Structure 1
Amino acid sequence: MPKALPAVGLAACALQLLDFATKILIKDHEVYQPRVGSGVQNTHLLRAVTHELYRLTEALHEYKSRRTYYEKKTGKLEDATQLLLRLCDFTPEIVVLLIDGLESAQSKCEGVESTWTNLREPLMTVWTKGAISTQKKRMQTQRREIELALLRALKAYIDQSPEKGLSMMNLEDTQTIHQQAWQHEAVEAIRTNDWKARNKKHTEEFCKLVDNLVLADTEARFRDLIFANLHFPEQDDRLHSISKPNDESFQWIWNSQQQGKGSFPVWLGDSNGQNVFWLTGKPGSGKSTLMKYLFRNEELFPFLERWSGHSPGILTGFFLWNCGTDLQKTTIGLLRTIIYEALQDMIFGPLEEDPSIVQRIFAERWKQFSSYGGGIRPFNLSELRTAFDLLLSDKTKKFLLMIDGLDELDDDPTNALTVLLSASNRENVKICISSRPSVIYQATFKDWPSLELNKWTKRGIQDYVLYAFDQNDTMFNIPAEQSDGTEERAIVNTLIEKANGVFLWASLATEFLIQSTKETDDVTTIKWRVNALPQELEALLIYMFDNLDPQHFLQAARLFRLVDAHGYPSLLPLTSAVHTDTRTALEAETRPLTVGEVLTRSERMRNILVFKCKNLLSIFEALPTDSQRTSVEVADLAHYKVNYAHRCIRDFLRTYEMRSRIAKTTDYENFVEDEHWANAHLWTLKTLQPRDGKLAIWDALADCMEYALRLESNDDRVRLTYLDEVNATLAEHLVNPATPVTAMDFPPGATVNSFGDIAVLLNLTKFLTIKARSADKKDLRHAMEYAKDVRTRLYAGGLDAFLGKRGRLRESYERVDADLANLLEYHTRSSLKLGSPKITRDMPEWV
């Protein structure tokens, strides 16, 4: 089957827009009334409809930018394709009239509670029946012309000889499965029936095929929106952060005779209703490491097939993380991940499941989406539970769920336990769960097969200690003729015994011992150090801190505070945040770093974490699952993040004693974490690296504003110098010919001309109060129009994807400040009438 031509995708997008817009004006198109509690009220319908029209228009603009890129590479397109492209380009100009009408209706109906049977009713408050009829006819005519142009383009594609070649905007990575299938069907029908655009019957038959294309594209776009709502960027970070397990250390897990009754491999193949396996053990005993080893391990499947038989199997799971973001430690995040991963595997994996499964398990949202473009709000726990239950209800499929760190939950654990235990009652579901042996989990899982990991880790700890010593030149640096190895083995055995099955204790103690050892040390000295190590994990951590060099402790304490203040930061910004001078970014030039500069910074930070922080903080690579590394580039290193090596360490450092000790060490009053992070984010903004012709600028820019607002909230002084530098940096990026503004990830809407546009959009009130007097009137007017346009396109809550968890920026964006609006309006006037009142605001302090 030939690949789908991008011109087909372009036409499908334009036809979707016209199809949706035309529905709005048809009397018989009833508005789907959401169920009570679904989160959508009638007064929000106009916003949802307008937003959907904007989204479809943006998709057309995206195709247009791809076409421009293609034309530059290959030259002129064929006449049939050129006509199709021109018609598609003109489509938004027709639909924008409807958008304007809906926005006017929205203003008129604001605050009025009404129940509309169709969307013509609110539109009738601003348009006449004649105007509605005219608009509908224009859109129907435009649709017919696009359909005819598409028929001609496909006909030309068939008639074109392979030698000459046909350029139908053949871009890479823009085809979709349904468009490919539709194109194949359409081409075969045109070829078989010799359809011609001049024949009315032929065009009617072709239009029926087009209806299928529009429906398939609408369904595909709904699936994409559902997947986007389910997915979150940190979804796999915990899995990535766990050190790669040593395969040999866990080979025993497959030996059912060694484990005896209720062993893991026996449980995998069991069909007697024992559908939960509980992996437990002391904190730090390596539960997550074993779960990572097991997750999608090929050795699972022979055992699992004894249970699943010939039924297709789905293996999915989630690694909870209490040191992470809210979604990484809640039941909502757990369910979103499991549903997302399962659907992706079912639809795009070997099963090739019918994609309409997404519409079935999210039926309520699909009805809203197909009716008025709704159903894209954030998920709540109730509907996720329903979707999860529907997903598992297909008895023809077997599901293995692997849930790591259930004790890492930050919400009520009974929510997750209720969902998981209910799922385990199904014959087609098995669940492997790991957690600490807390009371609630002991009570819940006491009758299920289980394994206490710390009783099985002695061999793995031995392998780790021997390997670590072997990699270090200073350990046991004794000529063979002077030692028979007895004392060395005794030291290793002492470490193993003291670890008592806790891998974390073994790794911290071994690395601490190695770093403490000098080339001149003999075995007796090393033995004394090993004996001095406390056996309990918390006591070991205290011992490590007591033996730290004061300067090392100071740097480690600052890093702990920086990480706590940020969540878990990316590695590169942290290399700037650790600077004692928080104004270094103000003087830095705006340019990408070289690979050498990035590697130098990264290596320096790695050394600090290893030798000064004693591996209590670790670096991990949160590489997206669809990424493939081809070379060492600056952008690649952006995926590296820093967090606590283990939750036990984070919890220990948050005890009252350690918090007090860290605060005293770092001069609590004078060490302001937000100042360091403000400096780091400005440095990040200045050193942004374009990739594939695009510049991901928004996050760095938003972080700069967030931290400027945080500092402002502390002392009520605007960080004017800092924001002026943010302004200057953005200006440099905007005029860089390598990355035009269209290649930057700003919120959808009008083109960004300056930082003032962003400042008005996000209501940087005090900054604008200072700047409004000297601002160019034309620039200020553009900023106000830009802010209005973006807010309209995103409507209620639509900026969530752009603001994320930036609390101060969100507060600022949501603030209604009529006085500021009046002030900005006042300063945009080209002339003032005599006697017009002067609008002023108290000038804020700034630094």
Structure 2
Amino acid sequence: MEALAALGLAGNVVQFIHFASGLLSTGSEVYKSASGASEKTFELEKIYERFRELSSSLSNHDTTDGRGPSRGLFATARMPQYLSIHIDALKGLGKESKDLCDQILETLRKVKVQGGRWRRFRSFMAALEAAWDSQKIADLESRLERFQKMISFHFFPIFSEQQSTVLKIVATLKDESSILRVDQHSKLDAISKTLQDLTSKMNGISEQLSTNPSNPVRSTPAEAFSLKAWDAFQQSPSSALTLEQLDMLSTELSKLDLTEKEIAVVAREQVFLRSLHFPSRPVRHDNLPPAHEKTFQWMLDPPEVSEGEHDHQYPQWLKSGNGIFWVSGKPGSGKSTLMKFLADHETTKSLLEKWAGGVKLVIAAHYFWSAGTPMQKSYEGLFQTLIYDVLRVCPMLIPQVCPARWAETNPVRNDDPTQWTTSELLTTLKTLSSHLSLNIRYCFFIDGIDEFDGDHLKLCDILEGLSQSPNIKLCIASRPWNVFVDAFGNHLLQKIYMEDLTRDDIRRYTRSRLTEHKRWNLPLFRADDKQSIIDDISDKAQGVFLWVFLVTKSLRDGLTNGDSIHDLRKRLDSLPVDLERFFKHILEAVDPIYHEKTSAFLSIAVNARQPLHFLFYSMHECEHEDEDYAVKMPVSQLYQDQFNAMQDECRRRVNARCGGLLSIKVGHVEFLHRTVRDFLLTREMSSYISAKTRPGFSANISTLKASLAVLKCSPETISRISVAPGLLEEAMYYANEVLEDSEDVGFELLERLEHLYLPPEWGIPDLRFREALLRAGVEKYIERKLEETLEYFDNLSELPLDIVVKQPKWTARHVRTIRHLLEHGQNPNASKPQSFPQDTSWSSFIQRSCKNEHNDKFQIAIEMGLFSSFLDHGAQKSAAYRSFVHALFFYPLKTPTMCLEVLDQLIVSPKDGMRYGIMLTANSTDRMSYRILLKAIGTELQGLEDRSRSLQKLKFMATIVERVVRTGASLGFYMEYLVPDITRAFPGALGQRISELLMTKADGHEPGSRKRKANDDVAESETKRSGRDLPLNTIAGSTAEDAINLDDEDAVLLNTTAGSTPKNAINLDDKDAVGISVAEAAMALGDLLKRDAHSTPEDAINLEDADASAVAAVMPLGYLLKRDGHRRSTRW
């Protein structure tokens, strides 16, 4: 029993002692008069019921573990050993209190007359005196007094320690709240105050127990549990708690319980928000330079006089507009800096609050970045950022907008949260936008949508869809590409072009940049000459701030070199006006001695999927002297002074060799601007750089070597605590690329990298390396390792297949990795220990491929043959029936023929050799699951009624239904109930053909008799099987009283025998009922227990559809249907 559970038990004991002692003390007068019989009965009965409640709380209190959202959270702290004696004593006291409470209850029962009526007594004591002698009552009073002393002696040390733990947890939550920028400070401050007040009151009670400073209640922890201290405490005249103190203690413990639940909610909110957070989320915003002083003010305070196309109504849009405001402009015109300025400005917030009209306002912002991480240029990154920004300000919304994920969020579990799917994220955003009852308004700032790495037209549709909500408005920025002009360019007063409005800002910025240099202010330079240069720069810039930055940088260099005003003019005139020509001019000015290293730096930067840490470039320098440096380099500690010196040296080298086109920001080497990377990727510049690199140079190999070197010198590798964030994953990305070009080099470097995670003196592999292989899909290395040993991926934190399947995006490498795992013995039906049996790798695959229409995983799985790969290696077909058919109905399909081939593989037994077999399988779970699929077909068809579908799509869906129905008919299932749904869903001949199939005679029987024949056929075949093979065995001697009444079709599934009576009954003994698996029940209970209007036996289980479905998900069928000699029936 941990400390928190002990305090909970103490609270229950205190309530019992307080209630019982109070009754003995006051007598609890209940008798009034002959006419007051109802009142006295009511009072005595209330006392009886209160004792029943106390007895229940004392017996049901969890004293064994730390389960539950709050208890588990506080169980994470290790308690001192000395508390165990106090805790054990409280456990004993709890048992004694329960026994005494039950004795009092039994006594009260005896004072009731026959028939359950209460006898009349003047008081509770009078009732006791009628049943107990004076000695027994005295013993009761003595025991209660002893309980009071024990609770005061053992409670306070536990409380003190637990309060210390709770306060530490609150402090940690405050720190985490600041890191996550969650709006929880007021709540946590209130919790802290409550805890402090509680501690103060408890200390007050402790001090009241004795005025003697040596009182054991106030002794040190080491002395608190000694026998000597307990003896001294019992002799203390004031050691027992008074009724008032008991009352206060009970009240304060109730507050403590509520407070700890509030703390658990805060912790749970933080865990939830961490699932949305990703490391690169704030990076782009933080790295953007702030707007120069007094620039962009025109956006929030436009001129009153209209200037034609220069006019805009941004402030008015903030105050009362809706929809989308579009900021557009040339590359380098300052769009991102403007968006940061607007999103962070107080005026923006004050104007939006007028639009919000008194309701809660939330401002969120996302900055796409094509040179950043995958999350910085994807749907997931956009959606997670917006949802995170909303919910960190309004964490109370989490249970409303994400109920399913909230239910799964556990503040105690240390494992990584399940990754969000695009569908789940979009659904959450739509919930936020559509629920007017939430009473919140949102303004989203989204920068650089042209840097989104996906379908821009689809992105525009999503953004326009969000803007339709009266609660949401969006300010977005992009280059003026046609797709964005078409989507957002029609609202003349809700768009701006940066270059039309920034001339004054550029002039102001130019003057400031030059004035900052002290030589610009020398009296040698005439004012009109200086103004002429400023005006010329403003004219040539054409709204491009980046060009101005580069020009003023060159002029400042000239000032440093002592250039005259004439020299500065010549320098300005020599600089290209076009950005790309300017970039090339910069590179050509680099000292030729650096050209080879310059080209290597630029090649690595362009090839990097995200900005690399400066250590990569520092380590790469060694490659110019020794190509095998990374392999030969020993593992060594990198100290802080070395780190600082390397960063300073790298900054100088990057600047000198790349002319300022690359720079170090927050420890990472980045391009000056996105346009630099775009320029270097052109064919001309690719050839230019390639011509200057050394023969045989490979950016991927150089980066992988640098990864190995960096890991060898990182403190995290030495300490074995953790790997530098993202470093191992980055290495895997480049390893994949190297293996494509040079397998020998790739294998050698990966072997060396794995060796870091397998120290010779330990001999135990650090499995993070192997998990990283799976996440990145390093399939060539994985295949080689599996061929060496099939146990290579044993003992991972997750199933190997699960790790691959759960990746946000599936590449061809991931697909090949899955195949390698299956071919080398990974079981698709396996589940992790201590998880539900149905949580298999196969079910995880189905979840991610068939239940997320907003990603392309379903199409990938079809085209790459993943469904077939899983099924060929034994994946349980029944787990995929409904999800796969749903995906066929509602997802856009590019390869219908391949989809139908997978459908046939799912619903036809490979043993049959027939297109439509007689049976899918002898397994009852498969049969029940298939019947659920047939039921679900009706639901899917109903979903088509209000949808606009092309004839081609309808024909395809009709083909699906026909194949499913044919197989159902071969199984003997009754399906005529589908006819109305099919008729409504499919027009004309499409629906008629399937309906005729459903109504057609089979084997010379009418449709109505087909069921009965199927029943008899199945029953005859199933009774030939042994009892062990049947999930539900019929007992020959069953009677109607034990029957479960089902209609004919249900009876077929549950293997009714001809000998059962009554006709439609299925009779189970205890063994049969218990043998039914939870999985079978969860899939089919709602359908199996279909109500039969003609059921008559008294003990039948008759369920309405709603009732059946309610229990189907949570209760094992074997539990529900269990019979024994003492229980005749169960009825809903």
TM-score range, shorter chain: 0.5 to 0.7
Q: Name the structure 2 match of 1:267.
A: 317
- Structure 1 residues 338, 710: closer, same or farther in 2, change over 3 A? same
Kindly indicate whether residue 330 of structure 2 is the aligned counterpart of residue 282 of structure 1. Answer: yes
- Please give the secondary structure, in 2, of the residue aligned with 1:327: helix
Q: Name the structure 1 match of 2:663.
A: 618
Shift of 1:554: 3.4
Determine the C-alpha separation between the residues in 2 that align with 1:472 and 1:570: 32
**Identity percentage of aligned residues:** 21
Q: Name the structure 1 match of 2:684.
A: 657
Q: 1:314 aligns with which of 350, 357, 362?
A: 362
Kindly indicate whether residue 402 of structure 2 is the aligned counterpart of residue 362 of structure 1. Answer: yes
Determine the C-alpha separation between the residues in 2 that align with 1:338 and 1:807: 30
Kindly indicate whether residue 290 of structure 2 is the aligned counterpart of residue 244 of structure 1. Answer: yes
Determine the C-alpha separation between the residues in 2 that align with 1:555 and 1:521: 30
Determine the C-alpha separation between the residues in 1 that align with 2:198 and 2:356: 42
Kindly indicate whether the alpha-carbon contact (under 8 Å) linking 2:619 and 2:706 is maintained by their aligned counterparts in 1: yes
Kindly indicate whether the alpha-carbon contact (under 8 Å) linking 1:731 and 1:755 is maintained by their aligned counterparts in 2: yes
Shift of 1:366: 5.2
Kindly indicate whether residue 202 of structure 2 is the aligned counterpart of residue 159 of structure 1. Answer: no
- Structure 1 counterpart of 2:281, one-letter code: Q
- Structure 2 counterpart of 1:688, one-letter code: S
Q: Name the structure 2 match of 1:540.
A: 582
Q: Name the structure 2 match of 1:104.
A: none
- Please give the secondary structure, in 1, of the residue aligned with 2:803: coil
- Structure 1 residues 794, 343: closer, same or farther in 2, change over 3 A? farther
Q: 1:753 aligns with which of 764, 776, 800?
A: 764
Q: Name the structure 2 match of 1:385.
A: 426
Determine the C-alpha separation between the residues in 2 that align with 1:534 and 1:78: 78
Q: Name the structure 1 match of 2:1034.
A: none
Determine the C-alpha separation between the residues in 1 that align with 2:282 and 2:685: 30
- Structure 1 residues 814, 685: closer, same or farther in 2, change over 3 A? farther
- Structure 1 counterpart of 2:620, one-letter code: A
Q: Name the structure 1 match of 2:529.
A: 487
Shift of 1:404: 1.0
Q: Name the structure 2 match of 1:641.
A: 668
Determine the C-alpha separation between the residues in 2 that align with 1:304 and 1:291: 15
- Structure 2 counterpart of 1:300, one-letter code: T
Shift of 1:212: 8.8
- Please give the secondary structure, in 1, of the residue aligned with 2:496: strand
Q: Name the structure 1 match of 2:473.
A: 430
Q: Name the structure 2 match of 1:420.
A: 463
Q: Deviations over 1:681-707 (max 9, x none)?
A: 222212223599984326445555665
Determine the C-alpha separation between the residues in 2 that align with 1:615 and 1:675: 25
- Structure 1 residues 59, 804: closer, same or farther in 2, change over 3 A? farther
Q: Deviations over 1:573-601 (max 9, x none)?
A: 23223442443334444333233322222
- Structure 1 counterpart of 2:682, one-letter code: T
Kindly indicate whether the alpha-carbon contact (under 8 Å) linking 1:688 and 1:695 is maintained by their aligned counterparts in 2: no
Across the aligned residues of Structure 1 and Structure 2, the Cα RMSD in angstroms comes to: 5.3
Determine the C-alpha separation between the residues in 1 that align with 2:387 and 2:409: 20
Q: 2:710 aligns with which of 684, 697, 714?
A: 684
- Structure 1 residues 651, 245: closer, same or farther in 2, change over 3 A? same
Worse overlay, 212-221 or 361-370: 212-221
Shift of 1:797: 2.9
Kindly indicate whether the alpha-carbon contact (under 8 Å) linking 1:254 and 1:265 is maintained by their aligned counterparts in 2: yes
Kindly indicate whether the alpha-carbon contact (under 8 Å) linking 1:509 and 1:540 is maintained by their aligned counterparts in 2: no
Report matched runs for 1:101-250 at 5 Å.
Answer: 159-160=156-157, 168=165, 171-172=168-169, 173-174=171-172, 223=269, 226-250=272-296
Unaligned runs of 5+ in 2: 9-65, 92-148, 175-183, 206-239, 243-249, 827-1132
Shift of 1:76: 4.9
Determine the C-alpha separation between the residues in 1 that align with 2:805 and 2:496: 46
- Structure 1 counterpart of 2:398, one-letter code: V
- Structure 1 residues 678, 276: closer, same or farther in 2, change over 3 A? closer
Kindly indicate whether residue 549 of structure 2 is the aligned counterpart of residue 507 of structure 1. Answer: yes
Kindly indicate whether the alpha-carbon contact (under 8 Å) linking 1:761 and 1:784 is maintained by their aligned counterparts in 2: no
Report matched runs for 1:288-307 at 5 Å.
Answer: 288-307=336-355
Kindly indicate whether the alpha-carbon contact (under 8 Å) linking 1:327 and 1:333 is maintained by their aligned counterparts in 2: yes
Q: Name the structure 2 match of 1:91.
A: none
Kindly indicate whether the alpha-carbon contact (under 8 Å) linking 1:619 and 1:643 is maintained by their aligned counterparts in 2: yes
Q: Name the structure 2 match of 1:109.
A: none
Kindly indicate whether residue 565 of structure 2 is the aligned counterpart of residue 523 of structure 1. Answer: yes
Determine the C-alpha separation between the residues in 2 that align with 1:704 and 1:312: 45
Q: 1:465 aligns with which of 510, 516, 519?
A: 510
Worse overlay, 561-570 or 578-587: 578-587
Determine the C-alpha separation between the residues in 2 that align with 1:329 and 1:768: 29
- Structure 1 residues 245, 223: closer, same or farther in 2, change over 3 A? same
Q: 1:574 aligns with which of 617, 623, 634?
A: 617
Determine the C-alpha separation between the residues in 1 that align with 2:499 and 2:447: 16
Determine the C-alpha separation between the residues in 1 that align with 2:615 and 2:90: 43
- Please give the secondary structure, in 2, of the residue aligned with 1:671: coil
Q: Deviations over 1:637-666 (max 9, x none)?
A: xxx222222222211111111111111111
Number of aligned residues: 639
- Please give the secondary structure, in 1, of the residue aligned with 2:454: coil
Shift of 1:811: 6.3
- Structure 1 residues 807, 525: closer, same or farther in 2, change over 3 A? farther
Shift of 1:502: 0.5
- Structure 1 counterpart of 2:796, one-letter code: V
Whose RCO is larger (CA < 8 A, sep 6+)? Answer: 1
Q: 1:599 aligns with which of 616, 636, 644?
A: 644
Unaligned runs of 5+ in 1: 1-5, 13-54, 87-151, 197-203, 348-353, 622-639, 736-750, 822-847
Q: Deviations over 1:597-641 (max 9, x none)?
A: 2222222222233333222223333xxxxxxxxxxxxxxxxxx22
Determine the C-alpha separation between the residues in 1 that align with 2:81 and 2:432: 48
Kindly indicate whether residue 700 of structure 2 is the aligned counterpart of residue 674 of structure 1. Answer: yes
- Structure 1 residues 799, 494: closer, same or farther in 2, change over 3 A? same
- Structure 2 counterpart of 1:788, one-letter code: D
Kindly indicate whether the alpha-carbon contact (under 8 Å) linking 1:359 and 1:366 is maintained by their aligned counterparts in 2: yes
Determine the C-alpha separation between the residues in 1 that align with 2:797 and 2:160: 50
- Structure 1 residues 413, 487: closer, same or farther in 2, change over 3 A? same
Kindly indicate whether the alpha-carbon contact (under 8 Å) linking 1:552 and 1:612 is maintained by their aligned counterparts in 2: yes
Determine the C-alpha separation between the residues in 2 that align with 1:187 and 1:483: 74
- Structure 2 counterpart of 1:255, one-letter code: D
Determine the C-alpha separation between the residues in 2 that align with 1:10 and 1:724: 52
- Structure 1 residues 333, 657: closer, same or farther in 2, change over 3 A? same
Determine the C-alpha separation between the residues in 2 that align with 1:283 and 1:432: 18
Q: Name the structure 1 match of 2:794.
A: 788
- Structure 1 residues 711, 703: closer, same or farther in 2, change over 3 A? same
Kindly indicate whether the alpha-carbon contact (under 8 Å) linking 2:467 and 2:474 is maintained by their aligned counterparts in 1: yes
- Structure 1 residues 710, 470: closer, same or farther in 2, change over 3 A? same
- Please give the secondary structure, in 2, of the residue aligned with 1:464: helix
- Structure 1 counterpart of 2:352, one-letter code: L
Worse overlay, 381-390 or 211-220: 211-220
Shift of 1:338: 0.3
- Structure 1 residues 505, 810: closer, same or farther in 2, change over 3 A? farther
Kindly indicate whether the alpha-carbon contact (under 8 Å) linking 1:308 and 1:398 is maintained by their aligned counterparts in 2: yes
Q: Name the structure 2 match of 1:130.
A: none
- Please give the secondary structure, in 2, of the residue aligned with 1:618: strand
- Please give the secondary structure, in 2, of the residue aligned with 1:284: coil
- Structure 1 residues 433, 791: closer, same or farther in 2, change over 3 A? same
Kindly indicate whether the alpha-carbon contact (under 8 Å) linking 2:663 and 2:669 is maintained by their aligned counterparts in 1: yes
- Structure 2 counterpart of 1:672, one-letter code: S
Determine the C-alpha separation between the residues in 2 that align with 1:168 and 1:770: 50
- Structure 2 counterpart of 1:680, one-letter code: A
Worse overlay, 451-460 or 175-184: 175-184
Shift of 1:710: 4.5
Kindly indicate whether residue 501 of structure 2 is the aligned counterpart of residue 440 of structure 1. Answer: no
Shift of 1:432: 1.3
- Structure 1 residues 467, 680: closer, same or farther in 2, change over 3 A? farther
